[in-house]
Amino acid sequence: MPALQELETAYSKAKKDRLFQKELKHLQETYIGRPTPLYFAKRLTKHLGGAKIYLKREDLAHTGAHKINNALGQALLAKKMGKKRLIAETGAGQHGVATATGAALVGLECEIYMGSEDIQRQSLNVFRMKLLGANVNEVNIGSRTLKDAINEALRDWTTNVRTTHYVMGTVFGPHPFPMMVRDFQSIIGREAKKQILRTEGRLPDYLIACVGGGSNAMGLFYEFLNDDVKMLGVEAGGRGIETGEHAARFAGGSMGVFQGCKSYLLQDNDGNVLGTHSVSAGLDYASIGPEHPYLRDMERVQYTYATDSEALSAFELLSETEGIIPALESAHAVAETVRLAPKLSKNKIIIVNLSGRGDKDVQQVARIKGIEL
Amino acid sequence: MSRIEDTFRRLKAENKKAFIPYIMAGDPNLEKTMEYVLMLSKCGADIIELGVPFSDPLADGPTIQRAAERALKAGVTLKKIIPFVKKLRTHTQIPIVLMTYYNPVFKYGERLFIKDAVDAGIDGVIVPDMPPEEADSLIKLSRESDLSTIFLVAPTSTKERIKKVVPSCSGFVYYVSITGITGSKLSLDETFKVHINTVKKSTDKPVAVGFGVSTPDDAKRISQIADGVIVGSAIVKKFYEHPSGAKKFIHELREAI
């Protein structure tokens, strides 16, 4: 608790600190490469034959995903707090890479926790983290995926709390993490709003984003919450809800308390956390950031899911029609777009958050397709 | 007066310290757990801390995590542990404190859990992932039913924090001897002694120390400053790896405290 209170105080100070904000903005522009483009996907739009589809190109942010927006913000904050060391969990490896990058940039030690299952399917990102000077710890207990990596990172944090800042990678965990991570990510929506107003002269009709912990979705949605814009969050349907092998918390979970917050959780009748499955490591997680159930219960955001095979088809479709290989996570948002766009008239506008690029996933996709590289 | 308070009062009168062993319920099954509790009680344990297995035991090190995995594999959950304690009560009246993460309690239903726990003869509950700030209803319902709520004070706890946590405790205060997880290495330096004295001075409630106490020597040194010594991982490990040597180890711990 004292560590969380210390963090909350430091964060609310930094929020008002003009120097901190100036430095953050400078790095967002010169280091991350913001603003990221809002790209009109002409051929995909034509192919689907319905609404106009825009892609918010977070895949073009430095390190290849939206994760850097948050990791860089927290790295700066940690430095300001006088911490010597950053730790983080990672699923797909994107947040690990982003944290390792942030640590290298501001000059802090870095330790990443990653489930052994994920290390196998994301070996490229593991090597990237090492190149960036981080230590990657294999987590070999539990389901050996993201949730276990978070457990291990939290254990490290309790042990080394005096010197260490825990860079939570998503809008999850105890307060102030969900709020702080959302704030750092909300630049996505702020930019997208300006960009669509400039290009189209009006707000979009739909926003679509994939939801693991839910940070890229919160980042895009937040700025539009008070506008007349429909929003869709897409969870990982894995091998289908009926098989039990998925990570669709709304479709298959119930309220629980886990890793420091109260939210939807995939759990059994005794409150033990269930194993999850998704082709995408970044969505393979048993719970969801607490602001999402809030938005769902007030009927502001709708949640749906895409299965592994739908995501894989979308992965290929976007690659072929637009020359953009999306992360498997983002491919879930594209899959929902494939379903929705043809049902809408041509004057409707959809913005899809392309939260990350798919280079990290090509080996795994090849493996799934039975192709030897 | 609760069984826990009774125990500490009796010990104080005898100028003794409490020996509080922790074992994981259902590791490897509940029959064995019954046997272990009775053995511990016979060997001079004063209070038993009974772990409830959970899929994601955040505050625990590898020894207890693995024990939880084994217990879950054996199908042991909170719903089975409560009637198990009821059965245990026909054999022993030793105070029993459950250590459970919050989600199993949440899923069970807080009110129902407290009612069933008290009916079964459970004396107290430790919820390591529940800070007192979030525990208003748990504390209130427990007070009404005479279930002790034991919260954790850490070496990083400030004076303000201690003031917040200690009044929420009933039965005893759980002082975590290290910043870290169960089963980590203990270091008993001067700062530790000063800090634990701050806690003791702030309250009349007994203060028991746990996390990282692994040898009779550790236990001895802790017992010189605290009112009770909690030994978890080392005992869990012993029961798992060398069950035949467990009794001797328990005796040594008891002697040391």
For chain A, helix, strand, coil in percent to 5 are 50, 20, 30
Tell me the percentage of chain A whose pLDDT exceeds 70. Answer: 100
Q: Which fold has domain B3-256?
A: TIM Barrel (3.20.20)
Tokens standing for residue B248? 């001797």
pLDDT at B1: 63
| A270 chain-B contacts, CB cut-off 8 A | 77-79, 104, 107-108
Cβ of B106 and A257 within 8 Å? yes
Q: Is B113 on the interface with A (CB under 8 A)?
A: no
Residues of B within 8 A of A267 (CB-CB) are: 103, 107
Of A147, A148, A256, the CB nearest to B107: A256
Q: What pLDDT does A136 receive?
A: 97
Runs of H (alpha helix) within A50-176: 67-80, 94-106, 116-121, 123-131, 146-160
Within 8 A of A3 by CB-CB distance, chain B residues are 156
Which of B55, B102, B133 is nearest residue A272 as measured by Cβ atoms?
Answer: B55
Tell me how far the alpha carbon of residue A22 is from its chain's centroid. Answer: 25
pLDDT at position A81 = 96
Nearest residue, CB atoms, A155 vs list B58, B72, B107: B58
- What is the structure's pLDDT at B185? 73
Kindly report the nearest CA distance between residue A297 and chain B, in angstroms.
Answer: 20
What is the distance between the alpha carbons of residues A293 and B220, in angstroms, rounded to a whole number?
Answer: 50
Mutate one of B64, B65, B103 to test the A interface: name it (highest A CB count within 10 A): B103
Instruction: Say yes or no for a CB contact (<8 Å) between B77 and A162.
Output: no
| A192 within 8 A of A351, measured Cβ to Cβ | yes
Average pLDDT (A73-82) is 97
The H or E element containing residue A52 is: strand A52-57
Q: What is the pLDDT of residues A170-185, one digit of tens each?
A: 999 999 999 999 999 9
Q: How far apart are CA B92 and CA B78, in angstroms?
A: 20
Quote the CA–CA distance of B100 and A210 in Å, as a whole number.
34
**Cis amide linkage into residue B28, ω under 30° from 0:** yes
Nearest to A340 by CA among A310, A320, A315: A310
Say how far apart CA B176 and CA B28 lie, in whole Å.
27
Q: What is the pLDDT of residues A189-218, one digit of tens each?
A: 999 999 999 999 999 999 999 999 999 999
A129-148 tens-digit pLDDT: 999 999 999 999 888 888 99
Residue A158 pLDDT exceeds 80: yes
- Measured between beta carbons, the chain A residues lying within 8 angstroms of B158 are 2
Q: What 3 state SS string does chain B have?
A: CCHHHHHHHHHHHCCCCEEEEEEECCCCCHHHHHHHHHHHHHCCCCCEEEECCCCCCCCCCHHHHHHHHHHHHCCCCHHHHHHHHHHHCCCCCCCEEEECCHHHHHHHCHHHHHHHHHHHCCCEEECCCCCHHHCHHHHHHHHHHCCEEECEECCCCCHHHHHHHHHHCCCCEEEECCCCCCCCCCCCCHHHHHHHHHHHHCCCCCEEEECCCCCHHHHHHHHCCCCEEEECHHHHHHHHHCHHHHHHHHHHHHHHC
Tell me the ipTM for this assembly: 0.92
* pLDDT for the residue numbered B120: 98
Q: pLDDT tens-digit profile of A296-315? A: 999 999 999 999 999 999 99
| 0.90 exceeded by pTM | yes
Q: CA–CA separation, A215 vs A69, rounded Å?
A: 10
| The pLDDT of residue A122 | 85
pLDDT band at A221 (very low <50, low <70, confident <90, very high): very high
List, for chain B, all residue ranges whose pLDDT scores fall below the cut of 50. Answer: none
- Predicted local distance difference test score (pLDDT) of residue B45: 98
Tell me the domain boundaries of chain B.
Answer: 3-256
Asked whether the predicted pLDDT for residue A149 surpasses 80, the reply is: yes
- Distance, CA of A261 to CA of A357 (rounded, Å): 30
What residues are paired with B99 via a beta bridge? B51, B126
